[in-house]
Structures are given as structure tokens and as C-alpha cells.
Amino acid sequence: MDHILDVKLARWPIGEAAADYNGDGATFENVTLEAGITGARWSLAASFVDLTNDGWPDIHVANDFNHDTLYLNRGNGTFEQRFMGEESDRNRMSSEVQDLTRNGYLDIYVTNIEVNPEQLDAAEKRGRVFVKQQAAAEPRYFGGNNLWINEGDGNFVDRAEELNVKKSPFTWGWDALIIDLNNDRKLDIVHANNQVDVITETGDERIVTEARNTESGVWMNTGENEFRPIRATEIGIDRMNERVLASLDAKIDGRRDLLFVEDDGPPRFYRNVTDTAHHWFQLIIEGSDDHTALGARAWLTAGNHEQLMVKDCKSDFQNQNSRVLHWGLGDHERIDELHVGWPDDTEQSFSDLSPDRRMRVSPDGSITEVSP
Ligand SMILES: [Ca+2]
Ligand SMILES: [Ca+2]
Ligand SMILES: [Ca+2]
Ligand SMILES: [Ca+2]
């Protein structure tokens, strides 16, 4: 790591292998093949984050019509390529990363297509036979979402079914977020939804899409990762057929707002107006002139609850989220400890901080409040 950003590209439809560029800040060198980034797949989203806690950023790639790919960073400029198993061989749209199990290792949520027989019959009645044909021919592609729990050694176990986020009433997931929507300390899941069921062959134009009215997917975390699906319209998200989803806190009021974008429509911004007395805390990890601080990690402890957040440079499906780290604190009125680990292995700890504010920590170890 030279503190100069490199780039990983994902391509859809299938083409040449995705490219890794090793930048010097102004120009780039294509190092894809020598780095071990091989394989021509239909890639829709990728995360460049440290999944093994060795300090070296790894890469997770969500692929259409194929397995998820992991590229584990060997620390010498090359990557070990792994597939994520049979359960990942679906139509994959997102690569959302957070530490859901609070063990310090990042877990991955990947949306997929899940359609039920009624939806297939309805599509067929509209003359839209492609999805039904595909579901019959390749049922594994329609198997629902994955929630990859990180076992810490580069291996992941899919616990989507066990945690109730595999099959949704919302069918066709695209971009996803793992965030605390109500600041109760439990990370929730939201994903955009856009069911596509029209395929035609017209000359060279093979795919024509038609959106059906599908709500976004929302799962509230009601226990220790016990997810309960709720209707998006119940919480005010009334637009249908979105593909892109990003979050930020625009007014610094401690509630994460959502930005949705349709496939071919305008963006929609939803301000989070959740009526809650829960506390929260936000942190900007500031870089310097020669260091972006990307990859920095912050552990916040309030009571017996510790939650890791990472200042990552990941993007999901066609977007990037705010890099401000956000913790919901529930009823906790004090932050016992905030521990920041920088990519250069320096560490800082702060204790007894007040919640309900955004703060900025600098490489020199100073921490100051950010005014709204
Ligand atoms: Ca790593
Ligand atoms: Ca974890
Ligand atoms: Ca929550
Ligand atoms: Ca807000």
C-alpha cells in the first residue's frame, strides 16, 4: 500500500476481465492479469475492502449468471481468487459490506432475484415468458438473496435463510444498504427493487425491460440479527422500481436519509423523519495531503455493545454512499470508548464522548465537533 488509490472495474455484460489500475495519482497502469484478477464474468458490483483483517484490502465481486468472486490480497500486489460456493451462483446485483455479527469481520449482503410461482404466471399472462423460461431452465439463478457471514479466514457462510432475508416479498433486488434506520443500535437492511420481465428479440436489440410495480425491500432488525420484512410504503418510501440506493445524513440530524434512482428516471430523496429518542454518533475520519485514510477502522463501545465501522472506498451498484461513519446508540447517553485504527497502523482512543453529534478525527489525533 502506497496510499495512492487504485481502481477496480466491474463490467456488465460480459467482456474482458475487469481491470485493476495501479495509479500514481495522475496516470494508471493496467495490472489486471499479473495481479490475478482474471475471469470474464457479468459483474455488477464490487467492494474493495479488507475482509481478512490483515490490513490488505480484498475484493468481493457480485456477478450475474455466475458465482461471486473473492480476490484475497496476498500483500505483494497479487490476489488469490476464490468462488463463494454454489449458493452464490445466482443473478447478483449488490455488494454491501458491514459487520453485522459485531466480531470485527465484515459481512456481505448480496441481492438476487427471487420470484414466486404467482409472479411467474402473471408475467406469462402478460406475454412475458422469458423470466418463466429462465426460472424453469436455471432455477438456481432465482434463489433469493445471500447474507455472507465472515468466518474470518477468507471463508463465508450464507445465513440469509436463517436470518430471514433470503426470500423477500419484494422480488428483484438491486442496490443494497446495511444501515441503522432507527438508531436502535441494530443494523437494518434496505434494497432497491426493480422487477424486469420483458425480453424481446428485435434485430441486435435483445433485451427490452419493463418495470412492474415493485416496492423497495426493507428489513428491520428486531433482535440480534432477527430481520423482519416490512412494507416500504409503511415507512413512507412510496416510489417503485428503483435500482440505485445511497444514504447520507443531509441535515446532520442523526437520521440517515435515502436517495433512490430509477433505471431511467429521476432521483428521489427521502428524508428520514423517524420519531425516535435514540442516540447516535457520527465520525469523519479525515485524510491528509498524502493519505486518504481509506480503510481506516473505528470501533465504538457504548455499554457492552461494540460496533465496527470502516471508512471504505467501496461502491455498490452505480453509486457510493457518504463516507461519514454512523452509529445508532439506542438508549446509551455516553460513548465509553471510540478507537480509531488508521491504515498506517497508528491508533487513537477517545473515551467518555457525548452522543448526538458529528465529530472529525484528524491524523494528528485531534477530535473536534462538526457544526451542522
Ligand atoms: Ca485482507
Ligand atoms: Ca462479522
Ligand atoms: Ca435499526
Ligand atoms: Ca437526516
* Contacts of 53-56 spanning 24+ positions with Cβ under 8 A: 53/104, 53/105, 53/152, 55/1, 55/295, 55/343, 55/345, 56/1
- Ligand of minimum distance to the alpha carbon of 59: 1
Amino acid at 172: W
Contact 17, 36 (CB under 8 A): no
Transcribe 229-281 into DSSP letters: EEEGGGGT-----EEEEEEE-TT-SS--EEEEEESSS-EEEE--------EEE
Measure 256 CA to ligand 3 centroid, in angstroms.
11
Which among 205-209, 222-226, 315-319 has the top mean pLDDT?
222-226
Cα dihedral 209, 215, 221, 225 sign: negative
Measure 356 CA to ligand 4 centroid, in angstroms.
12
- Nearest-angstrom CA–CA distance, 201 and 102: 48
Name the more confident of 114 and 160.
160
pLDDT at residue 74 greater than cutoff 90: yes
- Ligand of minimum distance to the alpha carbon of 104: 2
- Summarised one tens digit per residue, pLDDT across range 6-35 is 666 666 555 444 455 565 666 788 877 787
Query: Span 157-166, mean pLDDT?
Result: 90
> For residue 116, what pLDDT is reported?
65
> For residue 14, what pLDDT is reported?
56
Query: Span 221-241, mean pLDDT?
Result: 86
Transcribe 42-67 into DSSP letters: EEEEEEEE-SSSSSS-EEEEEEETB-
Which residues crowd ion ligand 4, with CB under 5 Å? 249, 251, 253, 255, 257, 272
pLDDT at residue 216 greater than cutoff 80: no
- Ligand of minimum distance to the alpha carbon of 218: 3
Measure 119 CA to ligand 1 centroid, in angstroms.
41
> For residue 224, what pLDDT is reported?
82
- Ligand of minimum distance to the alpha carbon of 273: 4
Whether omega before 13 lies within 30 degrees of 0, making that bond cis, reads: yes
Contact 34, 40 (CB under 8 A): no
3-class DSSP assignment, residue 197 = coil
> For residue 133, what pLDDT is reported?
65
- Nearest-angstrom CA–CA distance, 236 and 300: 30
Measure 210 CA to ligand 2 centroid, in angstroms.
37
Measure 220 CA to ligand 1 centroid, in angstroms.
30
- Nearest-angstrom CA–CA distance, 191 and 207: 24
Which residues crowd ion ligand 3, with CB under 5 Å? 180, 182, 184, 186, 188
- Nearest-angstrom CA–CA distance, 257 and 237: 11
> For residue 243, what pLDDT is reported?
79
Which among 137-146, 164-173, 350-359 has the top mean pLDDT?
350-359
Contact 34, 20 (CB under 8 A): no
What is the dihedral angle through the alpha carbons of 315, 321, 323, 327, rounded to the nearest 10 degrees? -120
Measure 50 CA to ligand 2 centroid, in angstroms.
12
Mean pLDDT of the chain: 82
- Summarised one tens digit per residue, pLDDT across range 291-318 is 889 899 999 999 999 999 999 877 677 7
> For residue 208, what pLDDT is reported?
46
